[in-house]
């Protein structure tokens, strides 16, 4: 079974009454343990793809199955739970909480997740 199955994924943005179809019918599968990199020029949709397959942003059409869970059918809270416990992200920008130390920023997700048993 594939860990990630993306089928006919579409993502469009509408800005100034113009529709920008950034992702048009993207389909691929990734197996557990597989290493994959996405390459493309700036503005080609790499970040949009990562945001939609992780549920951080909504999809316009298509489906994303992550370990048997269809993300478009999950509530926002449940997607957050999946992201917290089953996904890891290193963002281009730091998304630090200013009122916490660097150390606390780093361990905060572990406190919120099931991994807190290990702390
Ligand atoms: N939140 C947004 N609202 C409107 N358009 C966006 C938004 N995010 C990205 N885009 C547009 O989607 C396209 C792809 O952007 P992006 O996914 O950031 O590309 P990449 O990561 O490959 O540089 C660009 O044309 C960008 O302007
Ligand atoms: Mg990007």
Mean pLDDT by 10 residues, the chain (119 residues): 92 95 97 95 97 96 96 94 91 91 92 69
Q: Is residue 92 part of a domain?
A: no
What CATH number does residue 54 fall under?
Answer: 3.40.50.300
Ligand nearest to the CA of 51: 1
Q: Contact, 86 vs 67, CB < 8 A?
A: yes
Give the global pTM. Answer: 0.90
State the distance from the centre of ligand 1 to the C-alpha of 40, rounded, in angstroms: 13
pLDDT reported for residue 48: 97
Q: Is residue 98 part of a domain?
A: no
Q: Contact, 86 vs 68, CB < 8 A?
A: no
pLDDT reported for residue 110: 86
Q: Is residue 109 part of a domain?
A: no
Q: State the residue range of the domain holding 74.
A: 4-84
pLDDT reported for residue 111: 87
Q: Is residue 105 part of a domain?
A: no
Cα–Cα nearest to 2, from 26, 25, 34, 24: 34
Q: Is residue 64 part of a domain?
A: yes
- Total domain count for the chain? 1
Q: Is residue 47 part of a domain?
A: yes
- Ligand 1 atom closest to Cα of residue 51: 17
Q: Contact, 19 vs 74, CB < 8 A?
A: no
SS3 state of residue 69: strand
Q: Is residue 97 part of a domain?
A: no
Ligand 1: residues with CB < 6 A are: 13, 15, 20, 22, 40, 42-48
Residue 69 to residue 79: CA distance in whole angstroms: 10
């Amino acid at each position: 079974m594939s860990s990630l199955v993306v089928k006919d994924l579409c993502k469009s943005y509408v800005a100034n009454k113009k529709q920008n179809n950034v992702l048009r019918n993207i389909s691929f599968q990734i197996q557990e343990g597989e290493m994959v990199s996405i390459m493309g020029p700036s503005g080609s949709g790499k970040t949009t793809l990562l945001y939609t397959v992780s549920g951080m942003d909504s999809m316009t059409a298509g489906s994303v199955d992550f370990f048997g869970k269809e993300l478009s059918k999950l509530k926002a809270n449940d997607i957050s739970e999946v992201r917290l416990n089953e996904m890891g992200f290193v963002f281009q920008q730091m998304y630090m909480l200013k009122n916490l130390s660097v150390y606390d920023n780093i361990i905060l997700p572990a406190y919120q997740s099931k991994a807190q048993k290990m702390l």
